[in-house]
Amino acid sequence: MSRYTTEGECLWSTPIVLGAVSFPGVLEMGGRTEWEVRPRRPWIPEEIGIDHWEPLLVSADRIAASFTDTRGGIGRTFFLHLDSGETVSATSPAPTGRKAIAGPGQFLIGSQGYGAFTTSRFGRDGTETGRWASHGPMLVDRNGSASGPELETASPRDHASGGSHRTTPSWTGPR
């Protein structure tokens, strides 16, 4: 990742390495597992892309840059210092989801898929300061309260038996 001036001069360049990824809900089956369904061991992605949900957010002196294994949907968000490009912190690998600015240098990072359905708040230092069981597009007011449509997720088994995916009018996450 790099930052440039309006004249095209490089201010800094920081290598981003997604590394091996894994998540408990990702399963595999094949010759290696003797055709039994088992949790997939950590893997090195063959193709990495920018995350399709809000891939780059800038707030105060922090950047949240999200990258994903394009085949599996498991990704990480890297928190960088805006002036130096130094990596402050990174999230653990997880299914990608929606993101939002939560305040000066703070971010909300959502995760949905493979059994995950959460939103986490990260502070300026890149540490998780809160988490709740909801996910979706988020808005944050001037007091730091998050709100937006709350999505309900259902397993494929629920869909097969007539379960549904519904949206309720709004939710409010913790500050």
pLDDT in tens, the chain (175 residues): 999 999 999 999 999 999 999 999 999 999 888 899 999 999 999 999 999 889 999 999 999 999 999 999 999 999 999 999 999 999 999 999 999 999 999 999 999 999 999 999 999 999 999 999 888 888 888 888 888 876 666 655 444 444 344 444 344 555 5
Question: Are the beta carbons of 38 and 28 closer than 8 angstroms?
Answer: yes
User: pLDDT tens digits, residue range 35-50?
Assistant: 999 999 999 999 999 9
3-state secondary structure (DSSP) of residue 150 = strand
